[in-house]
Chains A and B, each alone.
Chain A
C-alpha cells in the first residue's frame, strides 16, 4: 500500500533562514508525490508535485522539493523563510488503482517561522 510519513510534528525556524520539512514515502511503482499547505481556518492549497524527471521540483511561493529515490524522500525546502510561511504542511502520494485515483496524506508538519 502507498504511504507517506512526516516524522516531525513541528519545525521551528528563524525568518531568513533556510527551512526543510521532511517527508518519506513507501510506494509500489513510480511515485507521484505532492506537497500542500494549509493556513489557519482554510482548506489545503497545492504547492508542488513530482511525477518524473528533474529531482528538484519548483512550486508556489518560492518553495521547492527534492526527490531522492535512494532515500525514498521528498523533502520540502525554501532558501529563506518568511513569517507568512507559518502554516501546516502536508505531504501526499497518489494511490492509483482500477476505478480510483486518490491521495494518501501524511499527518502534517506545523511550520513556525519566528521573526
Chain B
C-alpha cells in the first residue's frame, strides 16, 4: 500500500515550457486535490476532483489544468510555465471528510522551479 505518490520529485523548467505532474493513489479514494505551498501562504487549493471524470477549480486555478481519466490518477498540467509557478506542489486524496478518522492523505510533494 503505497498511499499517495507523486512524479517527479523535482523539476526545473524554463519560462514557457510545459509539463505534467502525476499523482497516484491506491486507497480507492473518490476525492483528489492539488495544492501549492509557498512560504507564508500555507497550502492553497489549485484544482480538485470529486470522482473519475470530474474536475473543479480551487482557490488559485489560473495557469493550470487537470484531468482525472482514471480514479486512481490525478494529473496537473502547466501549459506555459511562469516564474510565479515556482512552488512545492502537493497532491492529496480522501473519502468524504465526515467521519472521526476521515482525513486527506498527502503525497511527498514536487518541487518545481521555473527560471
**Measuring CB to CB, which residues of chain A are less than 8 angstroms from any residue of chain B?**
9, 32, 34, 36, 41-46, 49, 51, 90, 94, 96, 99-103, 105-108
Min C-beta distance of B91 to chain A, whole Å: 8
Of the residues A9, A42, A99, contact of B50 by C-beta under 8 Å: A99
Question: Quick one: which of B47-83 are within 8 Å of A by CB?
Answer: 48, 50, 56, 58
Specify which chain A residues have a CB less than 8 angstroms from the CB of B58 in the assembled complex: 102
**Measuring CB to CB, which residues of chain B are less than 8 angstroms from any residue of chain A?**
4, 31, 33, 35, 40-45, 48, 50, 56, 58, 90, 92, 94, 96-109
- Residue pair A43, B42 in contact (C-beta under 8 Å): no
Report the separation of the CA atoms of residues A100 and B56 in the bound assembly, to the nearest whole angstrom: 9
Specify which chain A residues have a CB less than 8 angstroms from the CB of B102 in the assembled complex: 49
Of the residues B33, B90, B103, B106, contact of A102 by C-beta under 8 Å: B33
Specify which chain A residues have a CB less than 8 angstroms from the CB of B31 in the assembled complex: 101-102
* Nearest opposing residue in chain A for B58, CB measure: A102
Min C-beta distance of A67 to chain B, whole Å: 13
- Residue pair B43, A90 in contact (C-beta under 8 Å): yes
Of the residues A32, A51, A105, A107, contact of B40 by C-beta under 8 Å: A107
